Amino acid sequence: MLTLADISKTFFRGGANEVAALDAVSLDIAQGDFLTVIGSNGAGKSSLLNCLAGCFFPDAGHIVLDGRDITTLPEYARAAFLGRVFQDPLLGTSASLSIEQNLALASLRGKRRGLAPGVKARDRERFRHALASLSLGLEDRLQAGVRLLSGGQRQALTMLMATLAEPRVLLLDEHTAALDPKTAAHILDLTERIVAKKRLTTLMVTHNMHQALRLGNRLVMMHRGRVILDVRGEEKRNLAVEDLLRRFHSLRDRDGEAADDAMSDKMLLA
Amino acid sequence: MTYYAFIGAVEQGFVYGLMVLGVYLTFRVLDFPDLTVDGSLPLGAAVSSVAVTAGVNPYLSLAFAFMAGFAAGAVTGLLNAKFKILHLLASILTMIALYSINIRIMGRPNLTLLGKPTVLSAFTGLGVPAHAAGPLLYGGLSVLAAIALVWYLSTEFGQATLATGDNPRMITALGVNTQVTVILGVGLSNALTAVSGALVAQNQGAADVNMGVGTIVAGLASVIIGETLLGRGGLARTIAAALAGSVAYRLAIALALDLRIGSLSVTPSDLNLITALVVVAALTLPTLRARLTGRRC
């Protein structure tokens, strides 16, 4: 359903900071797949997601969604198929608008925006119902400014907004990394529920190995812009943190790098 | 201040009110400091004056001014959104270009409208007393424009425009082409400013290529004064505040012109300095207050 074929991207080409963010990455993603993507800092996880989202165009390779080549489709046009949640909880919502206005903007993702009222009376019941599923009491605060919400509440709202108009693919970019552990657990729980309920094809980038192992039916590990591990189904279920650590260590041995490079402290402690 | 000076200031506040609504749209909604207005105000004046001189109905000439202003703003928006020129610089480029264009339109640096019909003469023809006609007509027009702006910003597209200024990454991820919202938004802002310029020209009986100098600063001062007076609440309240700020600003200027300290009296040429100080004070006060009370923003 979604195919990445030999995607390469080099940033700062020719400069001192030249970095191959993506190096001939190929992935075949089936309808309903839930991929967790792990890797150390600079492995290319976020670049992979941003490339899919259209934040930049690859130097080489193709992205094909439902048989359509979307490699050079601009970011805003691609948004019609994609739901996105960012790491920064402030990025997913508009602070100067109310909860219902944010939801209304999200419900029109991929549709023409005209001169009809932004928030329609008939949508309110739907919004209230969707907000109630968050169990945060937001369903009674439709007109409240998003500015007043906490980071966790805003991230929960973003999750809802990303899936309100059902996306073909849901992209989650370390969406719990900036939250405190309790809130992160809540958002992760919500993620599992929404993805399962709507059977969404999902890519979730994470720093957290436990998360990556617990969620999804497929795990992809990246290193230096390449996919170095791609396991699914039974094989993934039998995978343990120790197996992933061994992988990282073997990388270090092979590349002769310092341990910190292949495996950040953050991943160990997570 | 005399009654007539007061009425005159209120009238000016409403005439320039449309421009202030435009500045609010770029500065506050789109977060796009737009200096094009210094050129689109005289552009509207020039287009309307030439049209009226050629025998066009003064009200219809406002529509021409609207379209010319929209085109000028769209150019600035295009330079910024498509060609990635810094918003301030893009607007300065358009403003400079408009100086030449405005002289081309008028065929000379200024154009008098003495003896020509204006929006006001059509209105006083209905039997409205002359001194009340100005504030009533211009007040009515700017309130109508304010209501239209509130409506526009609460539509699907308007809400996308609001989100563009607030969080462009988010609204792009929701499928909005921010180039379009920026170009149309800056266009609309300058369309309002040009209509304001057309009204200024008809009201004072002449269009002048230099009449736009300082428009952006006066607009900013008005927006900020309005926010200080009425606060920033919902959309309707914020836009009403901008309009009220325009009137308050012109009243403050009228008061300042009455000011005498010993042998020193304020002259019209001092107004730019005073306005600049007002804007600086208004922009720095929130930061200063936060620092003094120990809160960080």
pLDDT of residue B294: 64
How far CA B23 is from CA of B13, B20, B28, B278, in Å, comes to 14, 5, 8, 16
Tell whether A101 lies on the interface with B, counting CB pairs under 8 A. Answer: yes
Task: Name every chain A residue with its beta carbon within 8 A of the beta carbon of B174.
Answer: 79, 105-106, 108-109, 161
In angstroms, the CA A29 to CA A26 distance is 10
Chain B residues touching A79 at Cβ < 8 A: 172-176
- Distance from CA of residue A226 to its chain's centroid? 18
CA distances from B192 to B22, B50, B195 (A): 6, 18, 5
Q: Min CA distance, A115 vs chain B (Å)?
A: 5
Phi and psi at B89, nearest 5°, equal -65, -40
What whole-number distance in Å separates Cα of residue B118 and Cα of residue A72?
53
Contact A145, A115 (CB under 8 A): no
pLDDT at B297 over 50: no
Please say if the pLDDT value at position A263 is more than 60: no
pLDDT digits (tens, 9 = 90+) for A130-188: 999 998 999 999 999 999 999 999 999 999 999 999 999 999 999 999 999 999 999 99
Residue in A130, A192, A193, A134 with CA at minimum distance from that of residue A165: A130
- Alpha-carbon Rg for chain A in angstroms: 19
State both tokens at B210. 């230099």
Residue B159 and residue A92: Cβ atoms within 8 Å? no
The percentage of residues in chain A with a pLDDT greater than 90, rounded to a whole number, is 77
Q: Domain boundaries in chain B?
A: 3-292
Q: Are A52 and A169 in contact (CB under 8 A)?
A: yes
- Cβ–Cβ below 8 Å for B167 and A108: no
Nearest chain A residue to B160, by CA:
A105
The β-bridge relationship of strands A2-11 and A60-65 is: antiparallel
Range with the poorest average pLDDT among A250-259, B20-29, B31-40, B81-90:
A250-259
Which A residues, 16 through 55, put their C-beta within 8 Å of a C-beta on chain B?
53
Pair B230, B237: CB distance under 8 Å: yes
CA distances from B214 to B32, B41, B254 (A): 17, 10, 17
Q: Does B233 touch chain A (CB under 8 A)?
A: no
d(CA B35, CA B285): 23
Q: Which stretch of DSSP H or E encloses residue B206?
A: strand B206-208
Tell me if chain B has a CB within 8 Å of the CB of A81. no
Q: What is the pLDDT of residues A188-246, one digit of tens each?
A: 999 999 999 999 999 999 988 899 999 999 999 999 899 999 999 888 888 888 888 88
Is the pLDDT score of A93 beyond 80? yes
Residue A149 lies in a domain: no
Query: Is B137 exposed, middle or buried (CB count within 10 Å of its CB: 0-12, 13-18, 19+)?
Result: buried
**What are the pLDDT digits (tens) for B72-82?**
999 999 999 99
The answer on pLDDT for B291 being more than 60 is: yes
Which chain A residues contact residue B166 at CB under 8 A? Answer: 94-97
Check A94 against B166: CB less than 8 A apart: yes
Strand partners, B268: none
Q: Residue B284, class by beta-carbon neighbours within 10 Å (0-12 exposed, 13-18 middle, 19+ buried)?
A: exposed
What confidence score (pLDDT) does residue B261 get? 82
pLDDT exceeds cutoff 60 at A257: no
Contact B242, B218 (CB under 8 A): no
| pLDDT, position B279 | 82
Confirm or reject contact between B174 and chain A (CB < 8 A). Answer: yes
How many residue contacts between A and B have a Cβ separation below 8 Å?
82
Q: What is the CATH number for A68?
A: 3.40.50.300
Query: Helices (H) and strands (E) in chain B — how many of each?
Result: 13, 4
* DSSP character at residue B154: T
| pLDDT band at residue B265 under the 50/70/90 scheme | confident
Which has more confidence, A269 or A106? Answer: A106
pLDDT of residue B271: 84
| Confidence grade of residue A262 (pLDDT, cut at 50, 70, 90) | very low
| CB-closest option in A75, A80, A108 to B156 | A108
For residue A110, which residues of chain B lie inside 8 Å, CB to CB?
A: 175
Across the interface, do A117 and B154 touch by the CB < 8 Å criterion? yes
The whole-chain average pLDDT of chain A stands at 90
pLDDT tens profile B114-136: 999 999 987 887 877 878 899 99
**CA separation, residue B255 to residues A32, B241, B243, B248 (Å):** 70, 20, 19, 10
Is A148 domain-assigned? no
Q: Which domain holds residue A54?
A: 2-94+163-269
Quote the CA–CA distance of A212 and A219 in Å, as a whole number: 7
pLDDT of residue B46: 98
Question: Which of A70, A81, A105 to mutate to test binding with chain B, by most B CBs within 10 Å of its CB?
Answer: A105
Task: Report CA-CA distances (Å) from B261 to B5, B6, B265, B266, B269.
Answer: 20, 21, 6, 9, 16
pLDDT in the model for residue A270: 47
Which residues in chain A are contacts of B157 at CB distance < 8 A? Answer: 113-115
- Give residue A256's pLDDT: 56
A75 and B176 in contact by Cβ < 8 A? no
Strands A34-38 and A218-223: parallel
Q: Cβ of B166 under 8 Å from any chain A Cβ?
A: yes
Band of the pLDDT at B258, cuts 50, 70, 90?
confident
Burial of B171 (0-12, 13-18, 19+ CB in 10 A): buried
* Pairwise CA distance, residues B89 & B85, whole Å: 7
Report how far apart, in Å, the C-alpha atoms of A247 and of each of A48, A169, A269, B159 are: 21, 28, 17, 48
Q: How far is residue B94's CA from residue B79's CA, in Å, rounded to a whole number?
A: 9
pLDDT surpassing 50 at residue B34: yes
**Interface contact flag, B173 A84, Cβ < 8 Å:** yes
Q: Sign of dihedral through CA atoms A56, A57, A60, A64?
A: positive
Residues 6+ apart with CB under 8 A from B167: A91, A93, A94, A95
ipTM, two decimals = 0.90
Residue A129 lies in a domain: no
Q: Give the number of domains in chain A.
A: 1
Say if CB A89 and CB A149 are below 8 A apart.
no
> What's residue B157's pLDDT?
97
- Residue numbers in B near A94 (CB within 8 A): 162-163, 166-167, 170-171
Find where tokens 């969080």 sit: B167
Count the residues in chain A. 270
Tokens of B196: 């304001």
- pLDDT surpasses 70 at B86: yes
Question: B170 and A91 in contact by Cβ < 8 A?
Answer: yes
What's residue A251's pLDDT?
A: 75
Helices B215-230, B235-257: crossing angle, 10 deg rounding: 110
pTM of the model: 0.91
Return d(Cα B30, Cα B188) in angstroms, integer. 12
In whole angstroms, what is the distance from residue B280 CA to residue B256 CA? 17
Is B3-292 assigned to CATH 1.10.3470? Answer: yes
A230 belongs to a structural domain: yes
Pairing mode, strands A68-69 and A60-65: antiparallel
Distance from CA of B159 to the nearest CA of A (A): 6
